[in-house]
Structure 1
Amino acid sequence: MFNARLGCSSISFRHQDLPTALRTIADLGFEEIDLGALPGVCDHVPYDLDAGAVAAVTADVRASGLRVRSVNGDIGDLNALLDAAEQSARDRHLAALLGLAAGTGAKALVLPCGALGHDPVRSLDEDLGTIAAQLIRAQRKAEEFGVELWTESLHFLRFCWNLERAELLARRLAGSGVGIVMDFSHIVAAGENPLDYLKRHRGRIAHIHLRDAVPGNINLSIGNGDADFAAGLAALAAVGYTGHFSLELETRDLTHDERPAAAAKAAAFITDLI
């Protein structure tokens, strides 16, 4: 029904429990999902992710028949300074998320590009170095699970919130194997141009999130903001992007009852552009 490279994030239906959200997505005609595991944003995956929780979520996803492109998770503020016990706890959480990604057949685990907030813990350079080191550490662990590690950068609400910081982080990650997730809404919300972002990250983009925005607001349905998806997808095709896309419609301009129809409309529009 929709392009096979276009999936839907479970975050789009975060108001539903996971089995219901998966049924909604499948009934709309999608074959692929990104699985939301972001505390405070989407509770489809428990933050306290013990073996039982991993097994339960994995069973729900497998029962749905949907492919999983990525697990969108969070292991804490990557620019925070951790002691040995805190790092150990983070590593255990990371291993649980990677186990979930591997168990559901996901291609990758996605982690954020730093803390919620733009102010450094120490300095811009030191914080970027800490974030890069944590992502590279996670990437090496991901290899053990047969999963890729991606980071969503830039992210308007996170430390790497604009083109400058996203590019500085990407430079520190060069050659590490950490992929980059491009999100149209965060780029537009930051007052930046997706085409400029693409030029700076050419050859590094592993996945695309799709949602609309205006400067300062990331929570708009596709067509209700300033993002030029036609130009952006054409530019991606021109540079040979062959990865996948996911509708991440965590929007606030719709009622919950309107979400399925809006997701289907957005998917039809994006399918025509891919």
Structure 2
Amino acid sequence: MTFHPRLGCSTISFRHLDLPGALETIAGLGFTEIDLGALPGVCDHVPYILDEPAVAAVAKTVAASGLQVRSVNGDVGDLNWPLSPQARVERTRHLDMLLSLAEQTEAQALVLPCGALDHEPVDALDHDLDLVAAELTAAAVRAAGTGVEIWTESLHFFRLCFNTERAQQLTDRLVGSGVGLVMDFSHIVASGGSPEDFINRFHERIAHVHLRDAVPGDINLSIGNGQADFAGGLKALADKGYTGHFSLELETRDVTNDQRPAAAARAAAAITNLI
């Protein structure tokens, strides 16, 4: 089956494979674009210790696959933690390497997190949110010369901005920054939120959409096995004029690794019928 041309697949969906194996599987299923996972501890397709040779090697592997890269999903550390001068140097170096990877793979954007993997702020919540917004804005300024955009998954169930209200508070701080938002159905549903409410609030800022199913408290379900209303959410996006792309990010726990290709194909067929 031919999938919708705006629907891609994150390499995180096949994180149990090495990068060449993941890319071969995704291309073999019929996808033409990917999100490239570069998240330490979640997806090791991109080495965390990045230098110029490592960036070039990953870019060469991706180019050989023939797949287009929509975004690089990366992490430069907890954006709500204050940094020492040395830590600042290290974060800037890692950011520059991720931007170089995005540029060399011709990705549209680098995606950065919305804070640490903790709902509790390091300091006061307002101070933490100010830090996250400042770090994202600074990254966007640094990225401007590369032609790469900065996006953030503004609602992430495990991170500082874990629900719609926190996402609202962060987004309010990003006005005028040029930072785009990534909407993830699973994180919204897991937090007890509504995808349509998220779309109504943030549709003008949504740059990309991740697709996975969920129930409150659990983001790791295959599409169709949770409570996410993909039909209603995708219609709401279309009604608001969304013309961006979508990516299956199937970091699921309800299928075995050998079942993942078939599960991804079923999900892609279902979503293609709704876009």
Normalising by structure 1, we get a TM-score of 0.99
Alignment partner of 1:79: what SS?
Answer: coil
> Any residues of structure 2 matched to 1:252-267 within 5 Å, and which?
252-267=253-268
CA deviation profile, 1:54-98 (whole Å, cap 9, x unmatched) = 011000000000000000000000000101111111000000000
By how many angstroms is 1:45 displaced?
Answer: 0.2
Alignment partner of 2:50: what SS?
Answer: coil
- Aligned counterpart, 1:110: 111
> Any residues of structure 2 matched to 1:137-148 within 5 Å, and which?
137-148=138-149
> Any residues of structure 2 matched to 1:212-231 within 5 Å, and which?
212-231=213-232
> Any residues of structure 2 matched to 1:84-123 within 5 Å, and which?
84-123=85-124
Aligned AA (1:75): V
The CA distance in 2 between the partners of 1:158 and 1:181, in whole Å, is 14
- Aligned counterpart, 1:20: 21
Aligned AA (1:205): I
CA root-mean-square deviation: 0.5
The CA distance in 2 between the partners of 1:87 and 1:133, in whole Å, is 13
CA deviation profile, 1:164-207 (whole Å, cap 9, x unmatched) = 10000000001110000000000000011111111111200000
Aligned AA (1:117): D
The CA distance in 2 between the partners of 1:85 and 1:200, in whole Å, is 38
CA deviation profile, 1:91-126 (whole Å, cap 9, x unmatched) = 000000000000001000000000001011111100
Aligned AA (1:126): H
The CA distance in 2 between the partners of 1:207 and 1:174, in whole Å, is 17
Aligned AA (1:213): A
Aligned AA (2:46): V
By how many angstroms is 1:145 displaced?
Answer: 1.1
Aligned AA (2:142): K
* Structure 1 residue ranges, 4+ long, deviating more than 2 angstroms after superposition: none
Q: Indicate conservation of the 8 Å contact 2:203/2:242, yes or no.
A: no
The CA distance in 2 between the partners of 1:196 and 1:225, in whole Å, is 18
- Aligned counterpart, 1:42: 43
Aligned AA (2:201): R
The CA distance in 2 between the partners of 1:204 and 1:29, in whole Å, is 29
Percent pairwise identity: 69
- Aligned counterpart, 1:51: 52
Aligned AA (2:254): D
Matched, 1:203 2:204: yes
- Aligned counterpart, 2:152: 151
Q: Which runs of 5+ in 2 are unaligned?
A: none
The CA distance in 2 between the partners of 1:55 and 1:176, in whole Å, is 29
Alignment partner of 1:160: what SS?
Answer: coil
- Aligned counterpart, 2:248: 247
- Aligned counterpart, 2:9: 8
Aligned AA (1:171): D
Q: Which runs of 5+ in 1 are unaligned?
A: none
Alignment partner of 1:245: what SS?
Answer: strand
Alignment partner of 2:273: what SS?
Answer: helix
The CA distance in 2 between the partners of 1:200 and 1:175, in whole Å, is 16
CA deviation profile, 1:133-168 (whole Å, cap 9, x unmatched) = 000010011111110000001000000000110000
> Any residues of structure 2 matched to 1:65-84 within 5 Å, and which?
65-84=66-85
Aligned AA (1:150): W
- Aligned counterpart, 1:193: 194
Alignment partner of 1:273: what SS?
Answer: coil
Alignment partner of 2:219: what SS?
Answer: strand
The CA distance in 2 between the partners of 1:195 and 1:235, in whole Å, is 6
Q: Indicate conservation of the 8 Å contact 2:27/2:65, yes or no.
A: yes
